[in-house]
Amino acid sequence: MWIQNAAAAVAGGTVSGRLILEGGYSKPKALPVFKSRGYCGASVANETLLVGRDGGVKNGVVILHPSDRPAVVLPSELVLDNRRCAFAPHVQVAGVGSELLLKNSDPILHTVHARLGSATLFNVGLPKWRQVIKRLDRDGVVKINCDVLHTWMSAAIVVSDSPYFAVSDERGFFHIDALPAGVYDMEIWHERLGVRRQSLRIGEAGALSVDVVYAGENLR
């Protein structure tokens, strides 16, 4: 369900809002560790669904795709670390062409196996001393796992062909600014809650606030 706190056709330049989970749901259980337990411990936190006390959903990716004109993507630099037997950060978003630095802060071996759909983009072994840079050349959701029997480890990088994006914070808030006037397809991705889309029209000045409400009882 979408809750728009202003009309869609507004004088704008910014879009902000919040991802909210309402109703009953079960908090994901900690993930059991099957290897390297002497360092990792018996379990690690499950980050696939992080919901604050007031229902705000973290790690939702919000992208605005211009539908009435082309968009110029601005590549950036981002980092994916291995810390305490988990990928950090768990969810990121970046423009096509961005460079990803892979590193390992743990004293044990990890790998970074990145897939786009069923295709492997890269599979890199990372002892603590090694760092590798990979270029993200294709848009889509890149799923990442560790192949040295660290089966609980996962992360996602959403690679966008639009420069207008954000990731929701611990309370579910997001903010996107510097938006030229026009029509946009607003896409929201979350690894457990799925994908939502809605069309928005942004004017020359002002702001648009859009909240996205998910029903917890529909989770499986």
User: Residue 142 — pLDDT band, cuts 50, 70, 90?
Assistant: very high
* Structural domains for the chain: 1-69+170-220 (2.60.40.10), 72-161 (2.60.40.420)
Least confident of 31-45, 165-179, 201-215: 201-215
User: Residue 25 — pLDDT band, cuts 50, 70, 90?
Assistant: confident
100 vs 23 pLDDT, higher one: 100
* Cβ neighbour number for residue 184 with a 10 Å cutoff: 25
Q: What is the pTM of this model?
A: 0.91
The dihedral sign for the CA sequence 51, 213, 60, 87: positive
The pLDDT tens digits of the residues spanning 158-193 come to 999 999 999 999 999 999 998 998 999 999 999 999
Asked whether residue 10 carries a pLDDT value surpassing 70, the answer given is no
Asked if omega into 107 is within 30° of 0 (cis), the reply is no
